[in-house]
Amino acid sequence: MNPPFLTTPAAAPGPPGHVRADDPTLCQVEPLRFSLLGPLRAWRGPTELSLGSPQQQAVLAALLLRRGRHATTDELIAAVWASPPTGAASVVRTYISKLRRVLGTRWDRTRSVSALRSGPGGYALSLPADASDAALLEKEMAEARRHRDGGRSDEARGVLLRALGRWSGSPLAGVPGPVAEAERERLVELRLTLEISVLSLDLELGQHRQAVPELFRLTAAHPLREEPRRLLMTALFRCGRRAEALALYEETRRILASELGVAPAASLRRLRDRIMAGEPGPGLGAAKEPAGHPSTDTAQERQGSLATLPTDLPDFTGRAAETDELVAALSAGSAATGVAVVSGMGGVGKTSLAVHAAHRLASSFPDGQLYADLGTRDDQPVALDDILSCFLQTLGGQDIVVPHDRVERAALFRTLVAGRRVLFVLDDASDAAQVRQLLPGSALCAVLVTSRTRLSSLSATVRIALDAPPPDEAMEMFARMIGSPIRDADALVLGRLVEVTGGLPLAIRVLASRHAARAGWPVAQTLGGLRGGPHLLPALRAEGLSVADSIQAGFGRLDKDQARAFLLPARAGMRDFTTTEAMTLLDAERREVRRLMDSLVDAGMLTSAARERYGYHALFFAFARGHDRGHTD
């Protein structure tokens, strides 16, 4: 059965590099429509299209999930293969060519153009905003929430039932790759959330007898989920089956104790008490939660206030566009929250931005905002078991029994966050595999990840690649850090320091700390003696902050070949260089040199302004030139 085609209202322009999905020039005589809530399918008008091999479908799925944003070849490779084969880039380009032929063209004013566009940022699909059933599902969830908030429970229930009817099987069934797998897990969790929301509305509308069979099915299918059991206890009590409701509570208590080592939630215990007393109360009615968000305990009922974020910097400066993008992408008011990745070189301000955005998002995640530093300790990566244990104790209380097995810890972690709106900040992740093991299963949660690498294989709602701020913003940052405006006499000195440090925020903070130690002195006296060159990096150290240590942390994650490729061009005095020039230095073939240099760009150690052209940030160049020669011999 073909999905319905709906017209899309006009929307505001997207950010640079974003394809306007609802541009009226994209109108097609035979519009394209896609289904993700089952096997991946596509139609042009009434005609179903053949989408090719599973790997080709994985490329299409990755483009659909980016919703008009460009995807690079490397990102598409990471979407299809966890371990890419030789020649993966060529294979992806072949899939793109085939998909162009399958999807065809659209009419753009006076000419026919491909629905699959190429651009400087990679590839993107230009489609109406509601071209997929997944997009329509999110619109319906938002509509249901408005009905529920307005007291129109019956209308909300009808919209959610229509949304549930869009499923035609396992989401993206048969589509391989890390991106499809992550989206499949999210959509499965979202469907369960919808089912629970409909049953909650059934009880609110007095249809408790009709809800009982479906609630029994859900509790059997998801024995560790407390929300279906709470609803079933309520429905049984309303049906006059008080003894069964109390027996269900005892069964729940035994299962949670034996499987997870935890007691039932506070709301479930209060419901049991009211049923025993035969008293009506909030647990025996149906609390009016927003549609798509089943009622749960608050963070305070479980464990007090779950807020472990570092303090937001009072002198945080700039990054307004990046902050707004993160807040918009991860807002709990949207139908489905997700994962945001902030990447960039060491010292560029990733953590400061993430923490600042997380504080802005706190009110959208009332059940908690949790922070974890995934960086190295004594040159060793932080153990994931320790991170999971910390999360479990925060979410479940100090008396929780933490399983010894990592798989069991992860399962308990996802159980504890199910149905709760919690924001997680995972700072300084080393790779995508590390992050995947810490992702909650609940679609109500959001995760903000920072990393020196781009984490291309991690499915993300939004990606932000941070660069050093422009000089005027760096100088404003310095002024806010010292708590006073820059005097005209100091502007020239400070401008030169911003230039030689490349405006790296960590370097600016070190300079501000050094100046603050001589309060009232002119900048020319406290910092005027600093110059570029080999002596600059040792001077950029103050009160536990060190630019050299930050760069060393990233350098320490490189393998031997990467380290050599990072150091040699700087040793030859080349701050900017081409692949050809690096081939001579490394005595290696073009393909291998390109692979090494691209991996250094991905790791945040080099920059790349154009294909096969690479360069160093000023301080990274100084680090490489001054590093010992053990890695290049």
3-class SS letters over 236-297: HHHCCCHHHHHHHHHHHHHHHHHHCCCCCCHHHHHHHHHHHHCCCCCCCCCCCCCCCCCCCC
Q: How far apart are CA 335 and CA 139, in angstroms?
A: 8
DSSP 69: B
Residue-level pLDDT at 31? 83
Q: How far apart are CA 89 and CA 91, in angstroms?
A: 5
The residue count for the chain = 633
Model confidence, pTM: 0.56
**CB 159, CB 144: distance < 8 Å:** yes
Helices (H) and strands (E) counted in the chain, each on its own, are 26, 19
Nearest CA to 573 out of 558, 561, 585 is that of 585
Residue with tokens 């069991």: 408
Which residue type does 127 have? Answer: L
Map residue 517 onto helix, strand or coil: coil
Secondary structure E strands in 548-606:
576-578
Q: How many Å is the maximal CA-CA distance in the chain?
A: 84
Hey, what are 237's tokens? 């009590």
Angstrom CA distances, 88 to 40, 74, 81, 91, stand at 22, 9, 9, 5
Q: Is the sign of the CA dihedral 424, 427, 432, 437 positive or negative?
A: negative
Residue-level pLDDT at 14? 41
Residue-level pLDDT at 40? 94
Hey, what are 245's tokens? 């409701």
Nearest CA to 352 out of 314, 401, 295, 298 is that of 314
List domains and CATH numbers for the chain.
24-131 (1.10.10.10), 134-297 (1.25.40.10), 320-465 (3.40.50.300), 471-549 (no CATH), 556-631 (1.10.10.10)
Residue-level pLDDT at 543? 67
Strands 369-373 and 423-429: parallel
Which residue type does 217 have? Answer: R
Residue-level pLDDT at 145? 86
Residue-level pLDDT at 299? 35
Q: Which residues of the chain have pLDDT under 70?
A: 1-29, 105-113, 279-305, 332-337, 376-381, 398-399, 489, 517-520, 524-534, 543, 628-633
